[in-house]
Amino acid sequence: MELDAETYAKFLQLFYINISSVKDENQVYIFPDAVCVELNISLELLRSWIYELVELHYISVLLYPAFNIPIEKREDMQVDHYVLITHPSLFTYIDTQMLKVKLKLLPARKPLVNKVSFGKNPPLLTYGTKECPIRENSLQYYICKLTFKKRSGPVNEDDIIEAYDNGESSRGVYNAIRHINKKTKSSLMLDEDLLTFKAGIVRINKIYQ
């Protein structure tokens, strides 16, 4: 059966709102005329939802309303509502349906973006909306420029030293990478080092590639 999930959930909520305990039985009173107006549904649809719950053994019907008599012509003693007996399994079912509706109505979650980017004008490392400036033409600048050009590939420290062209040593490259990792953890709120440096090879950490 095709159901409007939100309207159906509102119908199921009535079992929480209208429940009362009588002789150790949980009874629910459903007034069809009022419910149909409140939910903007037809009497036939309401009846089908109730009968479906009966077939699923979630409820039993103790009394039926006088459907065929217009409400304004019903006598005082004529029943104008359902008296339903709820079974424990009903409320597990209701909670499941409510959860489905809540999940459906939640705004779409944007995928988590782990990718760190490097822009040259101006020189910036970016992660989502966070930014970490890099001084132009510095050793850190050339480290970022070459490693982000290759993204997932390795960069040899000799290529960085050659591009920087300022007589830098391997130790200087190591120290510059440490500074990059330190300030990106602070500015970009990274949990791990952005760059790795081992045996003269620089790489972007895989989780940020």
* 8 A C-beta contact, residue 208 and residue 195: no
What is the tally of structural domains in the chain? Answer: 2
Bigger pLDDT: 99 or 124?
124
Q: What is the pLDDT of residue 20?
A: 64
Written in H, E and C, the secondary structure of the chain is CCCCHHHHHHHHHHHHHCEEEECCEEEEEECHHHHHHHHCCCHHHHHHHHHHHHHCCCEEEEECCCCCCCHHHCCCCCCCCEEEEECHHHHHHHHHHHHHHHHHHCCCCCCCCCCCEEEECCEEEEECCEEEECCCCCHHHHHHHHHHHHCCCCEEHHHHHHHHCCCCCHHHHHHHHHHHHHHHHHHCCCCCCCEEEECCEEEECHHHC
R_g over Cα of the chain:
34
Residue 112 located in a structural domain: no
User: How far is it, in rounded angstroms, from Cα 172 to Cα 53?
Assistant: 74
Cα separations (Å) of 64 from 20, 69, 96? 17, 13, 27
> Of the candidates 73, 105, 137, which is a domain's last residue?
105
> Of the candidates 105, 127, 151, which is a domain's last residue?
105
pTM over 0.75: no
Residues 126 and 93 in one domain: no
Q: What is the pLDDT of residue 83?
A: 85
Q: Which amino acid is at 209?
A: Q
* 8 A C-beta contact, residue 66 and residue 78: yes
Residues 31 and 74 in one domain: yes
Q: What is the CATH number of the domain that holds 45?
A: 1.10.10.10
Cα separations (Å) of 151 from 3, 114, 127? 49, 13, 15
pLDDT tens, residue by residue, 78-111? 557 888 889 888 888 888 888 777 766 655 544 4
Domain that includes residue 134, residue range: 117-208
**pLDDT band (50, 70, 90) for residue 175:** very high
